[in-house]
Structure 1
Amino acid sequence: MLTINHFKITAIKCLCICTLLLPQIALAEHAQPTIKLGMSTALTGPAKQIGEQLALGSNIYFNKINKENGINGQSIDLILADDGYEPKNTVVNTREFLFDQKIHAIFGSMGTPTAHAIKPILDRHRIPFLMPFTGADFLHNSSMPNVFNLRASYQDEAIEQINYFVKERKHEKIGLMIQADEFGYMVENNLVNALKIHGIKPVEVARFKRNSDDISKALALLKESKATAICLVGTYEPLAEFINAANKQNFNPDYTSVSFVSSHDLYQRVKQPANIMVTEVVPDPNNCKNPWCKQFIEDIEPYHTSANRIIFEGYLNAVALVSAAQKCPTPLNNQCLLTELTHLFTDTSEFADLFNSHSAGNNKKIYRSYFKK
């Protein structure tokens, strides 16, 4: 037989259990879904240091924000996938992001040929494609409203390089050394157009295969052309190989390259005397007075690595996303995110000042770095 005391004890037990569960129930009710970002990039192969550094920079800021309760209570999960800078792998990774991982956006992906390969997927699914590490022309037009670019276009970089060669260095015999893929062809087209403005044609256009350092044929062609200046289009390993091999053959033209090369990694590999100018899309964080440069230097310190432009760009990509997302309702809405991202360049904040150009003809700022030895 059940007694009154038994009912009292049972009631007290239930009250205790319910009291213990209340915080968990409340937490579940207020927990917000994670913001999932998919980043397909080179984590292996001869361009892996670009991908690794971009991911590091973004995670430095995302980790900081996650420790501070995320974006309006939503944590950020940057899901990395290695594509080795090969388009076919990027397609596989992107499909997995969309159908298995259920990501909110593709973020910080690296490369023009890789972006070109997934363009049909982007067009079909209208998934936000945020801060790609490329200045490709097709990502800088209104036909892809789901794309947000932080960096300048290759057109802007090409104009800066040709003006440097023609106006400042007084060169007329300019050659091109081009990676043979969509990246190379797009930058080549912009360089040729920039040369036309000055009434000049390239004295030679030589090509080499992506993800290889077989530059011997290209070097022979450009040396024979007697070019006094060469625009280099590729990644750090083959371009460093070209510069070092050219010097050993007593061929020492002036060089330029676009920001994609990773000037930090290129300069580390150039072992011979050379005069190189690389167009950059972010300033050197070690010599920059903008408050975001100073904040980056503070935030990178616990990671025990040297600050450079590639890591800084990855960091700023994360800053841009967080800054925009914080102005949107929870859970995060993609259309609001894209709208707020565009506002980053319409105000006078310290962030906009890093990228907005105040000179006629350029939409975004172009910086420079130099190597002289």
Structure 2
Amino acid sequence: MLHKNLILLLLIVCALLCISANVFANIENQPVIKLAVSNATSGPTAQLGIRLNQGANTYFDRVNREGGLAGKHIQLVLLDDGYEPYKTLINTQNFLKKKDIFAFFNYVGTPTTHAVLDKVSQSHVPFLMPFSGAEFLRKPVIKNIFHLRASYYQETEQQIHFLVDEKGMTNIGLMIQADEFGISVEKGYLMALKKRGIKPTVTTRYRRNTNDIKLALSILKAKNVQVVAFVGTYEPFAQLINSAYQQDFTPFFTSVSFISSRDLFQRIKQPSNVLVTEVMLDPANCNEAICLQFMDDMKAQGIKTVDQILFEGYLNAFVFVEVAKQCGESLSQSCFLEKMTNFTYQDKGLTIEFSENDHQGLSSIFLNFFQFDK
């Protein structure tokens, strides 16, 4: 009897193992739409890549739970580039060798996207929603490159309008990251200032992926500028603001959305005048349907603190899915690019619109001021 029970138990175990093997085989062989992501998930800009990916994955998880796109699940294929252009180029070359990538997605940074621009444009693979406002990605229009966020020229114009036209500040110093990102945003500041008959009092530079701001700070302080327009990442900018305050140097500080206001503001240790322009709605304070859905999905994941970067990743994913749906079971890169060119989405105060001559979906700019909490 014991022998028979043992045999029966072994048969049950074998059956369960076979079922499990079939389930895993089905999951492994399930058709997927692969989106190639090279961005920073380590180093001084890690939080940008991490939260952008998290926001996108949250929306894609929702879609995948509901059956995916025409029965295909969406998968982010993630590679870390540490915000270093040569790593981005290597990652992109590796993606292209695989031949199964549907699109490039959620790349972060101007120097990194500049490094792969030729490869991407020649590949004809869709390059979607890079986290950069650089003009070289926008003009001239490149057939397979689309952006959601507003440009750095639009951001810098709004900053200078506030600081010069509204506040009357004209003694302005620039502190610029020494790379393509710095060049791109600096051009925006120079154009906005020139429009008002103003030149920067002084321009200083510092190296990417460092917090080496001492020399630049001493130069800006010596010129006693009223405003420091900073181009770079949140860690050196926070160090600049904190160090300036310790030296009794308290100008108005300003920067574009790439800085990540959430990461910057939580590093400022004292009362300071800081403006960051944003290119996304604050999802915690808007009533659009996509904002409310985003908040519900974040809550379901146990995420209590949200920001524009999480929302941007989520919105990037939303746009991808909405465009892909229009192709149905005939989804292909060529169909996707055709539908993307004519895509429009309207929800109360949120309008996303692309056209043949304009591959930038949003243009709104929001002013976000630092508020010191003791």
TM-score, with structure 2 as normaliser: 0.87
The equivalent residue for 1:3 is none
Aligned mates of 1:130, 1:234 — CA distance in 2: 23
The equivalent residue for 2:128 is 130
Aligned mates of 1:155, 1:277 — CA distance in 2: 16
Aligned mates of 2:36, 2:164 — CA distance in 1: 41
Q: Secondary structure at the match of 1:118?
A: helix
Report the CA distance shift for 1:148/1:354 in structure 2 as closer, same or farther (over 3 A): closer
Q: Secondary structure at the match of 1:372?
A: coil
The equivalent residue for 1:47 is 45
Read off the aligned partner of 2:316 and give its amino acid letter: N
* CA apart distance, 1:355: 7.7
* CA apart distance, 1:292: 1.0
Q: Secondary structure at the match of 2:314?
A: helix
The equivalent residue for 2:291 is 293
| Superposition pairs of residues 18-167 of structure 1, within 5 angstroms | 33-100=31-98, 102-167=100-165
Report the CA distance shift for 1:94/1:351 in structure 2 as closer, same or farther (over 3 A): farther
* CA apart distance, 1:351: 8.3
Between 98-107 and 146-155, report the one with greater CA deviation. 98-107
Read off the aligned partner of 1:141 and give its amino acid letter: K
The equivalent residue for 1:330 is 329
The equivalent residue for 2:214 is 216
Contact 1:33–1:331, Cα closer than 8 Å, also in 2:
no
* CA apart distance, 1:129: 0.6
Aligned mates of 1:125, 1:192 — CA distance in 2: 34
Contact 2:36–2:101, Cα closer than 8 Å, also in 1:
yes
Read off the aligned partner of 1:329 and give its amino acid letter: G
The equivalent residue for 2:263 is 265
Aligned mates of 1:145, 1:354 — CA distance in 2: 18
Aligned mates of 1:64, 1:258 — CA distance in 2: 31
* CA apart distance, 1:295: 0.8
Aligned mates of 2:246, 2:147 — CA distance in 1: 40
The higher radius of gyration belongs to 1
* CA apart distance, 1:338: 2.1
The equivalent residue for 1:318 is 317
Contact 1:135–1:151, Cα closer than 8 Å, also in 2:
yes
Aligned mates of 1:76, 1:101 — CA distance in 2: 16
Contact 2:148–2:362, Cα closer than 8 Å, also in 1:
no
Report the CA distance shift for 1:98/1:331 in structure 2 as closer, same or farther (over 3 A): farther
Q: Secondary structure at the match of 2:331?
A: coil
Read off the aligned partner of 1:133 and give its amino acid letter: F
What is the root-mean-square deviation of aligned Cα atoms in Å? 2.0
* CA apart distance, 1:341: 2.5
Aligned mates of 2:275, 2:343 — CA distance in 1: 29
Contact 2:132–2:258, Cα closer than 8 Å, also in 1:
yes
Aligned mates of 1:309, 1:78 — CA distance in 2: 20
Contact 1:174–1:230, Cα closer than 8 Å, also in 2:
yes
CA deviation map 1:168-220 (0-9, x unaligned): 22101011111110001110011101000110000011111111001001101
Contact 1:230–1:256, Cα closer than 8 Å, also in 2:
yes
Correspondent of 1:190 among 188, 191, 207? 188
Q: Which ranges of structure 2 fall in alignment gaps of 5 or more residues?
A: 1-21, 355-360
Aligned mates of 1:327, 1:57 — CA distance in 2: 23
Aligned mates of 1:44, 1:372 — CA distance in 2: 28
Aligned mates of 2:164, 2:100 — CA distance in 1: 49
Correspondent of 2:198 among 200, 203, 206? 200
Aligned mates of 2:164, 2:311 — CA distance in 1: 30
Q: Secondary structure at the match of 1:207?
A: strand
Aligned length: 340
> Which contiguous aligned blocks of 4+ residues in structure 1 show a shift greater than 3 angstroms?
342-345, 347-352
Q: Secondary structure at the match of 2:367?
A: strand
* CA apart distance, 1:100: 2.3
Q: Which ranges of structure 1 fall in alignment gaps of 5 or more residues?
A: 1-23, 357-361
